[in-house]
Amino acid sequence: MIPAEIPNLIGGEARPAAGGAWLDKHRPADGTLLCRVAGSGPEDVDAAVAAARAAQPAWAAQTVVARGDLLRELALALRERREEASAIVAEETGKPLELALGETDAAVEMGLFVAGEGRRFYGRTTSASTPHRTVLTMRHPVGVAGLIVSFNTPLPNVAWKAFPALLCGNAAVLKPSEEAPASAWLFGELAREVGLAPGLLNVVHGAGPEAGAALVEHEGVDLVSFTGSAATGRIVNERAGARLAKVCLELGGKNALVVCDDADLESAVRRSVASAFSNAGQRCAAASRLVVFDSIADAFRERLLAEARALEPQPVISEAALQRILRQLDGAVARGASIACGGVRLDRPGFHLAPTIVEGVGPEDDLSCTELFGPVATLSTVRGLDEAIALVNDSPYGLTAAVHTASLHRALRFAEEVEVGVVVVNAGTHGSEPHMGFGGVKQSGTGWKEAGVEALDVYSDVRWVNLVADPSLT
Ligand code: NAD
């Protein structure tokens, strides 16, 4: 099902990297070799950008409704191949099939939502200070969009960018994660099968500092839309910024979930465990900081540890990721933290770390400030809501935050005062639905929202038009 060698898709053709390089991709579940993936470089990016530039004008000339109609076919083709796509995702990421099926459904939903946006494609009309003048907006494509994504939920990550980029009349060059190449390969194949013209969606595989960097720096790429870590995002922003390209960054989080003394304890524990450990904690919205009121801390801790220990561990994406997380845990322990559960590599093949809860970590400690992107959460206690909100905000990140409380007053105060892009009350820290804008503040992003109507603003330029129908009147 997954080819032994995953080629690029450039101008509608499957091609190996021009330099002939291949990168090994291993299965997280058992560490065995899954496939080899094209190790592309600047030459491949050049070819993909040229194909995109050639294809884009004819695509932009179609109505946005027609573009949406074809993108709906792509979403439906993915739905048709739901089982196959999910099996690919499960194999390349090591996540349970059930989770992968949910992600495929989410990617399909994004496609269907975006297709419908072709029949809305919102603009504005407004007033003017002079008489007889009509003012309105028009959306225009940006041109060629360079789309760079993370491995963690590979199909939604691709869908969140490719569907709106294409709907808005752009052509795209997608650089998937080298850790999740196969689902992106399938997406490209489906685009070809439904009749997306060659060159409109190119897929260039390879290592970030080679294929990714070449895409970011390419003068023919008008917009760079990136989902990944803050560290890489900083590099992408600098390089794309140097040539004043439009840049949208969706970055990491160090999301806090706060449990107040009036919370439904059972629900709060269940949501904490799911938020911290689902997808092995490899979610930008993962709750990696659990914060509980002193007065209920013992009861919460006891249940939390019991549930965390009972979890079936999922692997992290690679040996390198596992080693990085273990090093960060060792560092925290050396600085005085204690491991309440987990903290060790499991004695089984693959890249498994037991779900881990760390205590005794101060807000300034590296473990509180650095996104681990693994099954690790810190547990800390606070005296009340003021201290909890201060702790939530004492972070370089600002993606999501959750509070569990029965008090409307506390919930609203929390929503008002925490510095994040998404607030959740009495549920887990989670991502977005297709019709809801998603994005963070501080080091979690550059302020753009992806998904929702807001995605249209990322992938189109808004032109203001002043109309005076009869000049003799003015
Ligand atoms: P990463 O930053 O290592 O890589 C992301 C992508 O960037 C990959 O495709 C990679 O090949 C590429 N890349 C690496 N170096 C590059 C360079 N110099 N130039 C251009 N591209 C380069 O991140 P990751 O480990 O794949 O993903 C995890 C991160 O993604 C976490 O921080 C997570 O929070 C974040 N994330 C954010 C969101 C969101 O919507 N905010 C969603 C999913 C994941």
Instruction: Please tell me the distance from the alpha carbon of residue 234 to that of residue 249, in angstroms, as a whole number.
Output: 9
Instruction: Return the H-helix or E-strand segment holding 14.
Output: strand 13-15
How much is the pLDDT for 474? 81
Q: Which class does domain 255-425 fall in?
A: alpha beta
| Ligand 1 surroundings by CB, under 6 angstroms | 148-152, 157, 175, 177-178, 208-209, 212-213, 216, 227-229, 232, 235-236, 250-253, 284, 371, 373, 445
Q: Which atom of ligand 1 is nearest to the CA of 153?
A: 43
Ligand 1 center–CA 228 separation, angstroms = 2
Where the chain has pLDDT below 70, the residues are none
Ligand 1 center–CA 293 separation, angstroms = 34
How much is the pLDDT for 113? 98
Residues linked to residue 22 through DSSP beta bridges, in sequence order:
38
Q: Report the chain's C-alpha Rg in angstroms.
A: 23
Residue limits of CATH 3.40.309.10 in the chain: 255-425
Any idea of the CA torsion for 246, 74, 213, 13, to the nearest 10 degrees? -130
Nearest protein Cα to ligand 1, atom 32: 229
Instruction: Please tell me the distance from the alpha carbon of residue 76 to that of residue 110, in angstroms, as a whole number.
Output: 11
Residue limits of CATH 3.40.605.10 in the chain: 5-251+445-463
- Beta strand pairing call for 22-26 and 33-38: antiparallel
Match 């360079």 to its residue by tokens. 146
Ligand 1 center–CA 321 separation, angstroms = 13
Task: Tell me if 272 sits within 8 A of 429, measured CB to CB.
Answer: no
- Candidate CATH numbers 3.40.605.10, 2.40.50.140, 3.40.640.10, 1.20.59.20; the one for domain 5-251+445-463: 3.40.605.10
Task: Tell me if 233 sits within 8 A of 208, measured CB to CB.
Answer: no
| Residue 65: Cβ-neighbour burial (10 angstroms; 0-12, 13-18, 19+) | exposed
How much is the pLDDT for 247? 98
Ligand 1 probe mutation, 148, 150, 224, 400, most atoms within 8 A of CB: 150
Residue 345 CB coordination number (10 Å): 15
How much is the pLDDT for 1? 85
How much is the pLDDT for 329? 98
Q: Give the catalytic positions in this structure.
A: 250, 284
